[in-house]
């Protein structure tokens, strides 16, 4: 039995001082710890990496604290449009959804696309029809309503600006969630889920549901879940870039992740972070912002729940 491990994130960015009270910080830490433990328990009981990342992300989607599932930000039309993707590093199977509404756990719908359809990526109305065929129950707008997120939206509605979650200014924090895991068999997987950006319009889709950009897994190299300025993460093909540096340049997980987050993505103007594991259970969690909600745990004794650097 090899080392097994899991890492999760709840978004990266400038965590505005003054918005974070000690009580709120405790809530974030507790939510991260719970999601982490739920995923870790699956691995400890011999479960698969793909099950562990799905369950950890579901946990984060159910929390109003993060910009995914229940806590998703408002679009320009005062609705919620969510994106998610999941990838299995053993088979290279993947599933993704974007622009979906009313689905409690977008990550499970992404997994259903992977396992119950012939396709990889379903979007908008078609994805919703697929969900209905699978008898998904739709939540109403109240389930997704959150005072703070509604206030953020009111501040910029009727303008052309859109912003990353939870900010006073454009440059604040992102709240996308993700998980990566390595199971006892050395199989790895990645999952990412988001509500995108406040006041987004025109069917804007970020990196989170794009295989290779915001999410990627391959047993040969790594499993990666990203958070940050999606447009830049798409152009940098960030998650796959980490994998390529490992595969073609022989870099370690740590070095490849750092190279991408602290050099390559910065060079094109992107900010954010990622979490990654390899099939030996190593973990990397670099970010180039002030903070990133993150947590990790491995059978070799690593355990961390952190927000700032
Ligand atoms: N990457 C996400 C997006 O652009 C945002 C985030 O990470 O919070 O949709």
Is residue 207 within 6 Å of ligand 1 at its C-beta? yes
Residues 197-217 have pLDDT tens digits of 888 889 999 999 999 999 999
How far is 9 from 113, CA to CA, in rounded Å? 23
**Is the Cβ–Cβ distance between 182 and 3 less than 8 Å?**
yes
Domain that holds residue 23: 5-304
Whether residue 76 is contained in a domain is answered as: yes
CATH code (residue 192): 3.60.20.30
Q: What is the predicted pLDDT for the residue at 53?
A: 98
* Candidate from 192, 214, 230 with most ligand 1 atoms within 8 A of CB, to mutate: 230
Q: List the one residue out of 225, 218, 222 whose CA is nearest residue 57.
A: 225
DSSP 10: E
Q: Which atom of ligand 1 is nearest to the CA of 83?
A: 9
* Candidate from 206, 231, 237, 287 with most ligand 1 atoms within 8 A of CB, to mutate: 206
Q: What is the predicted pLDDT for the residue at 166?
A: 43
Question: b/e map of 31-63 (b: 16 or more CB within 10 Å)?
Answer: bbebbbbbbbebbbeebbbbbbbbbbbbbbbbb
- Tell me the two tokens of residue 43: 């691995």
* Candidate from 272, 274, 292 with most ligand 1 atoms within 8 A of CB, to mutate: 272
194 Cα: distance to centroid of ligand 1 (angstroms): 7
Is residue 208 within 6 Å of ligand 1 at its C-beta? yes
Among 39-53, 123-137, 164-178, name the one with the lowest average pLDDT. 164-178
Is residue 206 within 6 Å of ligand 1 at its C-beta? yes
The model's confidence at residue 170, banded by pLDDT at 50, 70 and 90, is very low
Q: Quick count: other Cβ atoms within 10 Å of Cβ 3?
A: 18
Residue 138 has pLDDT above 90, yes or no: yes
Whether residue 156 is contained in a domain is answered as: yes
* Mean pLDDT value across the chain: 93
Whether residue 244 is contained in a domain is answered as: yes
Q: List the one residue out of 270, 255, 30 whose CA is nearest residue 10.
A: 30
Whether residue 309 is contained in a domain is answered as: no
The model's confidence at residue 14, banded by pLDDT at 50, 70 and 90, is confident
The model's confidence at residue 107, banded by pLDDT at 50, 70 and 90, is very high
Is residue 10 within 6 Å of ligand 1 at its C-beta? no
The model's confidence at residue 247, banded by pLDDT at 50, 70 and 90, is very high
The model's confidence at residue 181, banded by pLDDT at 50, 70 and 90, is very high
- In this prediction, residues 248-254 reach a mean pLDDT of 98
Q: What is the predicted pLDDT for the residue at 152?
A: 79
Classify residue 185 by burial, with Cβ atoms within 10 Å: 0-12, 13-18, 19+: middle
Domain count, the chain: 1
Alpha helices by DSSP H, the chain: 22-44, 49-61, 106-116, 124-133, 141-144, 147-156, 230-235, 238-249, 253-259, 265-267
- In this prediction, residues 276-281 reach a mean pLDDT of 98
**Are β-strands 93-100 and 121-123 bridged in parallel, bridged antiparallel, or unpaired?**
parallel
Is residue 196 within 6 Å of ligand 1 at its C-beta? yes
Is residue 218 within 6 Å of ligand 1 at its C-beta? no
Q: What is the predicted pLDDT for the residue at 267?
A: 97
How far is 260 from 263, CA to CA, in rounded Å? 6
Q: What is the predicted pLDDT for the residue at 199?
A: 84
Q: Which atom of ligand 1 is nearest to the CA of 176?
A: 8
**Is the Cβ–Cβ distance between 188 and 52 less than 8 Å?**
no
Residues with catalytic roles: 176
């Amino acid at each position: 039995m090899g080392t097994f491990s899991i890492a999760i994130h709840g978004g990266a960015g400038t965590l505005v001082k003054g918005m974070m009270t000690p009580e709120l910080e405790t809530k974030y830490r507790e939510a991260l710890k719970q999601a982490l433990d739920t995923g870790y328990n699956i691995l400890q009981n011999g479960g698969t990496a793909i099950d562990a990342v799905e369950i950890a992300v579901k946990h984060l989607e159910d929390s109003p604290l993060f910009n995914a599932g229940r806590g998703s930000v408002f679009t320009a039309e005062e609705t919620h449009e969510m994106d998610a993707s999941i990838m299995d590093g053993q088979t290279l199977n993947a599933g993704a959804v974007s622009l979906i509404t009313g689905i409690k756990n977008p990550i499970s719908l992404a997994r259903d696309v992977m396992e119950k359809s012939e396709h990889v990526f379903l979007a908008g109305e078609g994805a919703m029809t697929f969900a209905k065929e699978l008898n998904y129950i739709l939540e109403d707008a109240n389930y997704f309503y959150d005072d703070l997120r509604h206030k953020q939206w009111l501040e910029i509605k009727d303008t052309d600006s859109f912003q990353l979650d939870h900010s006073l200014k454009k440059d604040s924090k992102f709240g996308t969630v993700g998980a990566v895991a390595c199971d006892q068999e050395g199989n790895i997987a990645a999952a990412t889920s988001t509500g995108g950006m406040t006041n987004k319009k025109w069917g804007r889709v970020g990196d989170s549901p794009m295989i290779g950009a915001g999410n990627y897994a391959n047993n040969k190299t790594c499993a990666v879940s990203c958070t940050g300025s999606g447009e830049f993460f798409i152009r940098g093909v960030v998650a796959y870039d980490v994998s390529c540096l490992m595969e073609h340049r022989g870099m370690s997980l740590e070095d490849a992740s750092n190279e991408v987050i602290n050099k390559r993505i910065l060079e094109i103007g992107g900010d954010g972070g990622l979490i990654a594991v390899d099939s030996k259970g190593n973990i990397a969690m670099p970010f180039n912002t002030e903070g990133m909600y993150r947590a990790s745990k491995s059978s070799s004794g690593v355990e961390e729940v952190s927000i700032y650097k």
